[in-house]
Amino acid sequence: MPVKGPERVLGRVGVIGDVHCEDDLLSRLLAYFDRAGLDAVLCVGDLADGAGDINRTCRLLQEANVHCVTGNHDRWLLTDELRDDPEATPTRLLNRETRAFLESLPSTMVFETRAGKLLLCHGTGDDDMLAVKRDHLRYDLESNFALQRLLQQGKYRFLVGGHTHQTMVRRVRDLILINAGTLHRGYAQTAGIIDFETHEVMFYDLTGGQVQHGETVPFPDQDELSSRVLRL
């Protein structure tokens, strides 16, 4: 069952994509978010497996009261799986506080916003390996069974997820899917702020460690499952 977020209705929230141990960049981003006076900061998980410090990464998120879910890389770290990758965080590096924090992370969280209910997850709902991508067409969306279950339930207006390392704002039926990208240095490093009053997502370019406004994307009006493009 999804964990319920804070009782207050959210107006503006910061969104952090897959972190992958980028603790220095995360520290600068959290300082920027703090100055922005946001109602909350959300993180889609995958805190582990990268070049930085996993213990500092988790400590920064805790100290900033970031609402965070778990990702597949966090799950693999806790079960000591797939540790032969060069970027994999060795399980032996986890201190007691970090392990307890990672073990406490839920797979999903639910928040009330001024534009409707939001589901925070890593992939799609409880599935941390399945995610919608920018270039997914009608077949991809209709064969995503986790997405179809959420659409049938009709509980949520927004899904904030990660996993793909790509920024995205898409609408499928009545569900708006938002992805803030990733902090991973091997990709375009990005983050976002969602404004549920102005109905837009502001993406930020974090390249070089600076937080710079990149692109503002309005919430889509068109249902992509019924659009002409996806009928091709």
Please state which of the ranges 6-10, 114-118, 121-125, 218-222 shows the lowest mean pLDDT. Answer: 6-10
10-63 residue pLDDT tens:
999 999 999 999 999 999 999 999 999 999 999 999 999 999 999 999 999 999
pLDDT at residue 6 in the model: 76
pLDDT at residue 223 in the model: 83
Phi and psi, residue 59, nearest 5°: -65, -40
Which percentage of the chain shows pLDDT scores above 70? 96
Mean of pLDDT values over 200-215:
95
Q: Is the pLDDT of residue 83 over 50?
A: yes
pLDDT at residue 1 in the model: 67
216-219 CB contacts, 8 Å cutoff, 24+ apart: 217/169, 219/115, 219/169, 219/171, 219/176
Whole-structure pTM value = 0.94
CA distances from 232 to 138, 139, 142, 170 (A): 9, 10, 14, 18
Q: Is the pLDDT of residue 227 over 80?
A: no
Find, among 192, 178, 159, the residue nearest to 12 by Cα: 192
pLDDT at residue 230 in the model: 39
Exposure pattern of 160-197 as b/e (b: 16+ CB <10 Å)?
bbbbbbbbbbbbbbebbbbbbbbbbeeeebbbbbbbbe
Report d(CA 28, CA 19) in Å as an integer: 13
Please state which of the ranges 3-12, 92-101, 104-113, 145-154 shows the lowest mean pLDDT. Answer: 3-12
- Give the start-to-end residue ranges of the domains of the chain: 7-231
Q: Which fold has domain 7-231?
A: Purple Acid Phosphatase; chain A, domain 2 (3.60.21)
pLDDT at residue 183 in the model: 98
pLDDT at residue 2 in the model: 79
Average model confidence (pLDDT) across the chain: 94
Report d(CA 62, CA 82) in Å as an integer: 26
